[in-house]
Amino acid sequence: MALKNHRSLPADTIERVKALADEMGYAPDPALSALAAHRSRLRVTKDFSVIGLVSNWSSEDGWSQLPSAQEVIEGAKARALELGFTIHHMWSKSENLSASRFDQILQTRGIRGLILAPFEDPEDRLELDWNQYSVVTVEKPFNYTHFHHIIQNHYSDLLLAWQKIRERGYQRIGLVVREDLSIRWGHQWESAHSLAQSSANTREETIPTLQLKGTDKDEHVEMVKSWLQLFKPEAVISRCDCFFEAASELGLSIPDDLGYVSLNVTDDVEGVSGIHQNRDLMGATAVDVLNSLLQRNFRGEHEVSVGTQVDGSWNDGNTLLNQFSTQSDHATT
């Protein structure tokens, strides 16, 4: 119990037992640990069967209504059921609750395990007594980096997009992203895009990345139109909400005139080519990691930031030509 930091034991008792274990060179037997974990799973519905999936958005369904969020929820629920848990989606701001009142509700209900949904604003805070809970976050809130986090491998996803586009013969490849999403992901997309451009070995002038600032969609449409007219990309990798409107206003047909690749096909226009982020796997992995923390009775933050990355997979879609022909090829034809 002491080695698992059981809350029923005094802190000095836990420290004393751990010191003796270190002095004796104690190490747990892996086979016995596996047996104990198996027996614990058989009792899980009696001990701590409810996992709180906590969203901290300004509206109750602000996050859960997103198609990608629904994938996370379904993946988490399916894995939780396999392990004997149930998932309760809980809105921290329900009925204008204070953080302390929400914390009290969680503890009164005996909820020990929390999965934090992505924050609406990654710089937001949720002031709970974190030492009472085992916690895993989906994505990585800026102020809670030392919980185990499940994040998308955006860098790898961008390189995969480049690989698929180049395989089809496109040369001039541009990137359009919303600034808020770029900041949220630590500018991984732009970094990978720059690497891919420098490694492409083409004689074409590289196209600067377009970052869309603010929330004015009409302004974003005009920015994309100007960028398309000025740099004339053959294909565009995008994570924004206005690209099709901009292309349409310029009379461009996708994919005949311009290839398009989405960095999140789940939340984009139906049928697009691009990256499927496997958010259901992110939800399932969050439950797996949380289950491990609960079995070890580990609560609060890690001393060192620990995370798991989930790679995206390619979705063919219908917004890239099977084989792109250059303008010179068209002229010859």
Digit-coded pLDDT (tens) for 215-240: 999 999 999 999 999 999 999 999 99
Q: Report residue 313: phi and psi, to 5°.
A: -125, 160
Domains of the chain by start residue, with CATH: 1-42 (no CATH), 44-145+281-311 (3.40.50.2300), 154-276+315-332 (3.40.50.2300)
Q: Which two tokens stand for residue 254?
A: 């996708």
- Strand 313-315, strand 273-276: pairing: antiparallel
With 0-12 CB in 10 A as exposed, 13-18 as middle and 19+ as buried, what is 180? middle
Digit-coded pLDDT (tens) for 147-186: 999 999 999 999 999 999 999 999 999 999 999 999 999 9
- pLDDT given for residue 212 in this prediction: 97
Better-scored residue on pLDDT, 223 or 48: 223
Instruction: For tokens 């789940």, name the residue.
Output: 266
- pLDDT given for residue 324 in this prediction: 84
Q: Give the predicted TM-score (pTM) of the model.
A: 0.82
- pLDDT given for residue 19 in this prediction: 87
- pLDDT given for residue 330 in this prediction: 38
In the beta sheet, which residues pair with residue 273? 261
Average pLDDT over every residue of 51-63: 95
- pLDDT given for residue 206 in this prediction: 86
DSSP secondary structure, 166-212, as one string: HHTT---EEEEEEHHHHHHTTTHHHHHHHHHHHHS--SSPPPPPEEE
Neighbours of 97 (CB within 10 A): 14
- pLDDT given for residue 228 in this prediction: 97
pLDDT at 196 over 70: yes
